Structure 1
Amino acid sequence: MNNQLYEVQRFLQSNRILISFSGKLTQGLIEEYGAAVKKYLEHAERPTSEIHDVFSIFIEQTQNIKNYCSHQEKSPHGERIASSSVVTIGKTEHNHVIHSGNLLANDDVLCLRKTLDQIVSLDKTELKQLYKAKLRETVSPDALGAGIGLIEMSRKVKHPLEYSIIPIDEHVSFFTLKAVV
Structure 2
Amino acid sequence: MENIDLFAMRERFNNQQIMLCFNGPISRSLIEEIGNALRNYLSAEHAHPSAAMDVFAVYIEMTQNISHYTRARQWNEQEAGATVVVSRNQGGRYVVSAGNLIEMPDGENLLQAVEGLAGMDKAELKAAYKEQLRRPRDEARPSGAGLGLIDIARKSSEPLQASLQPLAGGRGFFSLRAVI
Question: What TM-score results when the alignment is normalised by the length of structure 1?
Answer: 0.90
User: Given the alignment of the two structures, is residue 81 of structure 1 paired with residue 82 of structure 2, yes or no?
Assistant: no
Instruction: Check the 8 A contact 1:106/1:170 in 2, yes or no.
Output: no
Cα distance in structure 2, aligned partners of 1:118 and 1:161 = 10
- Residues 43-82 of structure 1: pairs in structure 2 closer than 5 A: 43-73=44-74, 78-79=75-76, 80-82=78-80
Instruction: Check the 8 A contact 1:16/1:92 in 2, yes or no.
Output: yes
Local SS of the residue matching 2:25: coil
Local SS of the residue matching 1:159: coil
The aligned counterpart of 2:161 is 162
The aligned counterpart of 2:89 is 92
Which moves more between the two structures, 132-141 or 8-17?
8-17
The amino acid that maps onto 2:104 is N
Cα distance in structure 1, aligned partners of 2:98 and 2:145 = 19
Structure 2: segments with no counterpart, 5+ residues: none
Instruction: Check the 8 A contact 2:108/2:164 in 1, yes or no.
Output: no
The amino acid that maps onto 2:67 is K
Q: CA deviation at 1:6?
A: 3.9
Instruction: Check the 8 A contact 1:134/1:148 in 2, yes or no.
Output: yes
Cα distance in structure 2, aligned partners of 1:21 and 1:160 = 24
Cα distance in structure 1, aligned partners of 2:107 and 2:52 = 32
CA offsets 1:101-148 (integer angstroms, 9 cap, x no match)? 001111312321221122111111111111011111122224123511
The amino acid that maps onto 1:90 is S
Cα distance in structure 2, aligned partners of 1:4 and 1:21 = 17
Local SS of the residue matching 1:152: helix
Q: CA deviation at 1:2?
A: 3.5
User: Given the alignment of the two structures, is residue 114 of structure 1 paired with residue 112 of structure 2, yes or no?
Assistant: yes
- Residues 121-160 of structure 1: pairs in structure 2 closer than 5 A: 121-141=119-139, 142-145=141-144, 147-160=146-159
- Residues 5-20 of structure 1: pairs in structure 2 closer than 5 A: 5-20=6-21
Cα distance in structure 1, aligned partners of 2:128 and 2:39 = 29
The amino acid that maps onto 1:150 is L
Instruction: Check the 8 A contact 1:17/1:89 in 2, yes or no.
Output: yes
Cα distance in structure 2, aligned partners of 1:122 and 1:92 = 22
Question: What TM-score results when the alignment is normalised by the length of structure 2?
Answer: 0.90
Pairwise CA RMSD of aligned residues? 1.6
Local SS of the residue matching 1:65: helix
Percent identity, aligned pairs only, is 33
Instruction: Check the 8 A contact 1:98/1:178 in 2, yes or no.
Output: yes
Structure 1: segments with no counterpart, 5+ residues: none
Cα distance in structure 2, aligned partners of 1:90 and 1:153 = 16
Cα distance in structure 1, aligned partners of 2:46 and 2:107 = 39
Cα distance in structure 1, aligned partners of 2:154 and 2:4 = 41
Local SS of the residue matching 1:23: strand
